[in-house]
């Protein structure tokens, strides 16, 4: 089990106000949403880490479980009061940038800002990338998933992250979206879960506090950070919308509200998609 005391000593004192590690829970997202509902004055910057989740939440009501001690599964509580509702689509994208950048940094992957791992990692460098809106990939394999959920009153947002760290190949989860799963271990990287968590929190704090101060993804540099990491952009895609409709075309960009822009073959203006299951269509 990760050392709660060491994590608190390393992470708390700035934006992050509380960090708890539990052996097992159903869903860290559900737990933090319950905590936010029970105490409207509970500050943002709370982190809940679980060694095991037995009813982890995914998009579209999907659930998942984790193998104890092999994955990094945690949620953070936010109160983005200065972020307009239409810009909150960027919150899970911020998490994606933080996770992909942290994986690259800890393993010494491309764009990590150095010639080797930042700390806590050895073995092969892992060039993590993003698939809009909530998957972290290595190649075409799913390394991590992200889910943002908002409280009924809109005052709180909880972002949950599940990342396969030391999961062996025969214990990897089966993705309902059809993507094969992977882990850092399978990709040849040996990584400390504590070091990876701390780097994700560091990256997330930097981007989130900047976005809170100025919720403009261009002025904060967030748009420029997201675009090269997102391999969805520039590809032909098929998007299954929540209403059951399917849209196909070329993913041309992400707009200021974090929506995916799809240009259809008819040559009309791009359609902005705020939610949906994206499939990369092979040529």
Q: What is the mean pLDDT of residues 158-179?
A: 87
Distance of alpha carbon 246 from alpha carbon 60, whole angstroms: 15
- Positive or negative, the CA dihedral 85, 87, 90, 91 is negative
Question: Hey, how many other C-beta atoms are within 10 angstroms of the C-beta on 250?
Answer: 17
SS3 205: helix
pLDDT of residue 243: 81
Helix then strand then coil, in percent of the chain rounded to 5, is 25, 30, 45
E strand spans, the chain? 18-22, 46-50, 56-57, 63-64, 71-78, 121-123, 129-131, 135-138, 141-150, 157-164, 189-191, 236-240, 246-254, 260-263, 271-273, 277-280
Question: Hey, how many other C-beta atoms are within 10 angstroms of the C-beta on 226?
Answer: 22
DSSP 118: S
pLDDT band at 244 (very low <50, low <70, confident <90, very high): confident
Distance of alpha carbon 133 from alpha carbon 155, whole angstroms: 22
Residue 143 has pLDDT above 90, yes or no: yes
Residue 175 has pLDDT above 80, yes or no: no
pTM score, whole prediction? 0.93
Backbone angles phi, psi at 63, to 5 degrees: -125, 160
Q: What is the mean pLDDT of residues 133-160?
A: 96
Residue 116 has pLDDT above 60, yes or no: no
Residue 252 has pLDDT above 50, yes or no: yes
Distance of alpha carbon 197 from alpha carbon 98, whole angstroms: 10
Distance of alpha carbon 31 from alpha carbon 217, whole angstroms: 30
Lowest mean pLDDT among 6-20, 60-74, 154-168, 233-247: 60-74
pLDDT band at 173 (very low <50, low <70, confident <90, very high): confident
Q: What is the mean pLDDT of residues 183-197?
A: 97
Distance of alpha carbon 255 from alpha carbon 28, whole angstroms: 30
Pick 37 or 69 by higher pLDDT. 37
pLDDT of residue 174: 76
- Positive or negative, the CA dihedral 78, 80, 81, 85 is negative
pLDDT of residue 117: 53
pLDDT of residue 57: 54
Cβ-count burial 107-139 (b if 16+ within 10 Å, e if not): bbbeebeeeebbebbeeebbbbbbbbbbbbbbe
Residue 121 has pLDDT above 70, yes or no: no
Q: Which candidate, 210, 206, 164, places its Cα nearest to that of 187?
A: 164
pLDDT of residue 115: 41
What is the overall mean pLDDT for the chain? 91
Residue 1 has pLDDT above 50, yes or no: yes
pLDDT of residue 177: 59
Residue 121, token pair as written in the block: 């990692």
């Amino acid at each position: 089990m990760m050392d709660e005391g060491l994590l608190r000593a390393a992470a708390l004192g700035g934006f992050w106000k509380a960090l708890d590690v539990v052996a097992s829970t159903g869903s860290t997202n559900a737990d933090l949403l319950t905590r936010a509902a029970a105490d409207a004055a509970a500050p943002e910057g709370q982190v809940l880490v679980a060694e095991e989740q037995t009813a982890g939440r995914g998009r579209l009501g999907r659930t998942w479980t984790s193998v104890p001690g092999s994955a990094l599964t945690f949620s953070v509580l936010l109160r983005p009061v200065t972020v307009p509702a239409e810009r909150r689509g960027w919150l899970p994208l911020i998490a994606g940038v933080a996770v992909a950048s942290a994986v690259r940094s800890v393993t010494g992957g491309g764009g990590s800002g150095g010639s080797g791992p930042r700390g806590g990692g050895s073995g092969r460098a892992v060039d993590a990338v993003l698939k809009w809106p909530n998957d972290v990939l290595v190649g075409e394999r799913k390394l991590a998933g992200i889910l943002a959920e908002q409280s009924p009153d809109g005052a709180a947002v909880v972002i949950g992250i599940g990342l396969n760290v030391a999961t062996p190949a025969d214990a990897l989860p089966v993705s309902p979206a059809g993507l094969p799963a992977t882990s850092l271990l399978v990709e040849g990287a040996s990584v400390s879960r504590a070091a990876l968590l701390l780097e994700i929190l560091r990256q997330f704090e930097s981007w989130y506090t900047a976005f809170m101060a100025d919720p403009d993804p261009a002025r904060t540099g967030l748009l420029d950070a997201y675009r090269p990491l997102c391999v969805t952009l520039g590809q032909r895609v098929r998007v299954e919308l929540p209403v059951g409709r399917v849209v196909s075309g070329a993913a041309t960009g992400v707009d200021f509200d974090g929506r995916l822009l799809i240009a259809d073959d008819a040559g009309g203006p791009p359609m902005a998609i705020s939610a949906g299951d994206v499939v990369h269509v092979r040529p």
